[in-house]
Amino acid sequence: MPTSALSSRTVLITGAASGIGYETARQLAERGATVLLHGRTAEETRAAADRLVSTTGVDGGQLCTYAADFARLDEVETFAHKVVAEHPHLDVLVNNAGMAAPERHTVTADGNE
């Protein structure tokens, strides 16, 4: 991998297990960034990281995986604390997590809208 301006950057991408988030992670990792991948489950996020390593040749050491269901505030809080503890400096945050077609009014299991 060629050295680039991104080689010293740390990027957190929510919703990185598939779709736009995964492609964003791929592009940034290929350009040398340390990429923190977030997904709803540990299994899907680890699978995305493994796929990046096997299909692009990206060094697995550039990738860190995190899981949290953003519909559960306790998981969001745990996720945030873990990321800050392990990576006290973030250069880029890509807020990509979301739902394709949410209902007009939803309430999480925690009672949040």
Instruction: Copy the structure tokens of residue 67.
Output: 């899981």
Lookup result for tokens 């080689």: 7
Q: How confident is the model at residue 113 (pLDDT cuts 50, 70, 90)?
A: low
* Tens digits of residue pLDDT in 30-57: 999 999 999 999 999 999 999 999 999 9
CA distances from 98 to 69, 71, 94 (A): 11, 10, 12
The answer to whether 87 and 36 are in contact (CB under 8 A) is: yes
* pLDDT tens sequence across 54-87: 999 999 999 999 999 998 999 999 999 999 999 9
Residue 103 has pLDDT above 70, yes or no: no
Does the pLDDT value for residue 1 go beyond 50? no
Hey, what domains does the chain have and what are their CATH numbers?
5-94 (3.40.50.720)
39 closest CA partner among 10, 61, 69, 12: 69
* pLDDT tops 90 at residue 21: yes
Helix ranges (H only) for 1-113 are 19-30, 42-56, 73-86
Q: How many residues does the chain have?
A: 113
